[in-house]
Amino acid sequence: MAVAAILPAQSCPRPAPPPGGFPTHVDSVIAVTYSDGYQTFASLVRPDVTAPSCGWPLVVFVHPLGGSRADDFAFQLDVAAHGYAVWSYDVRGQGQAVAQNPGHLGAGTTLWGPVERADLAEQIGFVAGEPGYAGIVDPTRAAVVGSSQGGAHAWAAAAWSGLPFAVTGRPPLVFPTIACAVAHDYVAESADDWLRGGALWSSWFVEALAGSYAGLPLDPALVQNARSAFVAQDPAILLGTFLAERRGIAADLAVSQVPLFYSHSYHDRIDSPLLGLRSLQTMTSPHRALLTTGGHNSPQNDHERAYRNALTQRWLDRWLWDEPNEVDLEVPYVISELPLAAALRDDPTHSWSRQHVVDPLVPASATRLWLHDDLGLHETAPLVPQQDESIAQVIDPQATTFTPQDYLDQGAVRALGNVLAVCPLDEVVYSLVTAAESELGASAALHLRVVPRAADWMVAVLLTVESPGSNGEEVMLCSGAVHSQSSTPDVAEEHDLLLPPVAVRVPAGATVRLRLRNLWLREQPMAPQLEVAPRFHDFRVDVVHSDPVTGEGSWLDLPLAAVRPKISASSNSFDLLTAPPLSLYVRGGVDRAGLPYYVTFGMSGQVPATPFLNDVLPLEYDWLVGVSTVGWMQPEFTNFLYDLDAAGEATAVLDFSAWAPLPLEFVGLRLTFAAFVFDAFGSPSGAATNPCDVVLK
């Protein structure tokens, strides 16, 4: 039928997975010895059916730090069931390998340094050279997939693909050619994460140096160099070591031809997605990104994780099986819309809305809000004279143990309560109240004119929002910091800070706050914690609102925009055998309350989009779009044409259960939904929603 017509001609066609995927076979314990004598263990999960003539493409799964090859095993099984050989292994210093290598000089992890990259290359080489896998596994079509530590490996694999490299104590290597990479929950350059802006020490990295992660052997040389640099408060010591090790991958990544899919949580305990996005945008190869939840210590959501897994699967299908599924042609950045209400944000069953944007770091437009000495954010520039505001850090002179050395050695000194007691939080808070419901879908940018009163200082920046009727609950949207170690006291400086992008709907009457602080302290929806270690000395920074001579001041470019309608589904997949009812949630915004809408869907994907009235529906017009557009009166299409309720929302239901089972030839394809909200009944204008994909299984 038509399904075959859209698949590429292949010398080795992909076997079509049945509903639920192929049965799988697991080789759970495979010993692998590296060229430096270190021994670890791996597992292989593959379809338990006859392999195609070219074998199953190889997907190397790398687990998070401190885990093992069994991490996220359900995901590994699911990938294998779709026609892949999934290879996972215990990374050096972790899992079953720890007990296997007592006394080995390289027994500790260097935290995804060149040693671990050599290990990854040798793992792929092991699979390629294993006679038992000949004809079953195809290592010439290989991907590296992982989250956290595994994400760092995926970035490195994309950068080093096909390149020769050398590691002390190992024979020269050529990194295997990688067909694609999937990096979840970590940025590309570890140095950028550990030393924010080259000077601010990441709190999680400090905890690692302090030995807080029990059972995780760290490489002694890495620990010693990093501890010495921290105690001296001289990051150049550590950066010099990284340079000598060739840890940096920025130059290689920029010329890499490896397609890379990146996902990251907004409120990840380790870092924001900003640095990862900047690295991604240097790449000339195909790339996509998903910003969502579910990273380190951030709210977990089953729908968001399932959506991420579905995008990962499509990425693998595109680059390992050469399927033209358009994943590389769609709008490149998907930004899930963070619910402000805790009840929705923390509900793992809540279906989040999503925004699809071309570039989340460069908003289409932004409102310039000037910082005034009345602590307001105003659209008009302040008139002189304006009083400066000061952010001061004053450390308790009786706290003799508040030193870098004690901070490393004593958990009680690092404890947040002690830090706030010894080094009190000082902040200046600017605010505005929103007049209408609006949405944020890109990075805000801050320009600060400051007068430092010390050479070494830091100002942390938090953007928060408090919804009306939330009983004072304030939600952090994003954060960052500006700093210097070499300012000339009493001389004005200009600093620009791009904040991490975030998507959120801001209700009318909400209070948006810009908090400037001496400590980079993150807030709800995360537990309060220090993002970076504090400065261990007094300082003061004056924020200039309007210079009496130049008139220059400080401002926030905030890309708040009118709400566009959204559509989401109750499930990311659709079972063809049972065809259960599928709910579609249309969220038009309060200003569209009572307006008519209609829902439509097709099977041809999002590209090319379909012009409709004054806007564009983000799905390709096909026969199914035509059927669903005129079928709204049929019982299978409940509320496909109706009015939004008083909150500007509606639920439509697609119910094909009476027709189950549906044709199994559709397995692996997807339904793409979109909706259109009219400006009035019979109006020739309105606004289209985002696309919403549901995979047929």
Which DSSP helix (H) or strand (E) runs through 195? strand 195-196
Q: What is the mean pLDDT of the chain?
A: 95
| Mean of pLDDT values over 549-557 | 92
Give residue-wise pLDDT tens across range 185-223.
Answer: 999 999 999 999 999 999 999 999 999 998 899 999 999
Residue 1 pLDDT class (50, 70, 90 cuts) = very low
141 in Cβ contact with 179 (< 8 Å): yes
Tokens of 604: 């041809």
Percent of the chain with pLDDT over 70: 99
Diameter of the chain by CA atoms? 80
**What is residue 115's predicted lDDT score, i.e. its pLDDT?**
97
Domain residue limits, the chain: 2-188+248-357, 190-247, 367-561, 564-696
pLDDT(55) > 50: yes
Residue 3 pLDDT class (50, 70, 90 cuts) = very low
Residue located via tokens 């590389």? 328
State the fold for domain 564-696. Answer: Immunoglobulin-like (2.60.40)
Residue located via tokens 């949630």? 585
**What is residue 172's predicted lDDT score, i.e. its pLDDT?**
94
Tokens of 19: 């509903």
| Mean of pLDDT values over 264-273 | 92
**What is residue 298's predicted lDDT score, i.e. its pLDDT?**
83
| CATH superfamily, region 367-561 | Galactose-binding domain-like (2.60.120.260)
Give residue-wise pLDDT tens across range 422-442.
Answer: 999 999 999 999 999 999 999
Query: Residues 380, 386, 389, CA angle at the centre, nearest 5°?
Result: 105
Q: What is the CATH number of domain 2-188+248-357?
A: 3.40.50.1820
Residue located via tokens 């020490």? 201
**What is residue 551's predicted lDDT score, i.e. its pLDDT?**
84
Bridge partners (DSSP) listed for residue 376: 431
Burial (CB count <10 Å: 0-12, 13-18, 19+), residue 403: middle
| Mean of pLDDT values over 401-414 | 97
Residue 291 pLDDT class (50, 70, 90 cuts) = very high
Give residue-wise pLDDT tens across range 163-185.
Answer: 999 999 999 999 999 999 999 99
Q: Cα separation of 272 and 262, whole Å?
A: 13
Contacts of 253 (CB under 8 A, 6+ apart): 155, 158, 159, 188, 279, 282, 283
**What is residue 2's predicted lDDT score, i.e. its pLDDT?**
31
- Residue 127's region, left for phi above 0, alpha for psi from -120 to 50, else beta, is alpha
Residue 632 pLDDT class (50, 70, 90 cuts) = confident
76 in Cβ contact with 133 (< 8 Å): no
- Residue 165's region, left for phi above 0, alpha for psi from -120 to 50, else beta, is beta
